[in-house]
Amino acid sequence: MTEQYPTRTQEAREQSGSDLATLVYLIQAISLFTAVPFFVGVLINYFKRGDVRGTLAESHFRWQIRTFWFWLLWTVIGSLTWWLLGLGFVILGIAWVWAVYRVIRGWLALADNRPAY
């Protein structure tokens, strides 16, 4: 006889997804001062993406993944162009402010139980 594991209720899945999204927002907030944790956060998003499918957290995971990739793109562009009359520093500054905005906006939406967008 095989033992059946109880399936998680939708409420438990929602809470678990919300907790994971909160953890990733915290990691992203820390990453604003040191970039390394940003990579940890996006790995959590990718590894746990299937667990949050169909929950409110799914939109937050998508938001967090997009935040990471666009931040990385603009950080690389800014880093490669810093020598062009300081253009890179402007790009890096804008990328940082944009990442701050995305983390705060997403975290507040999550706290209000709203989708990220």
pLDDT digits (tens, 9 = 90+) for 2-37: 555 456 688 888 898 999 999 999 999 999 888 788
Which residues 6+ apart lie within 8 Å of 58 measured at CB?
Answer: 17, 49, 52
pLDDT digits (tens, 9 = 90+) for 58-74: 999 999 999 999 999 99
Task: Using CB atoms within 10 Å of the CB of residue 85, give its burial: 0 to 12 exposed, 13 to 18 middle, 19+ buried.
Answer: exposed
Average pLDDT of 42-68?
A: 94
The CA distance from 84 to 86, in Å, is 5
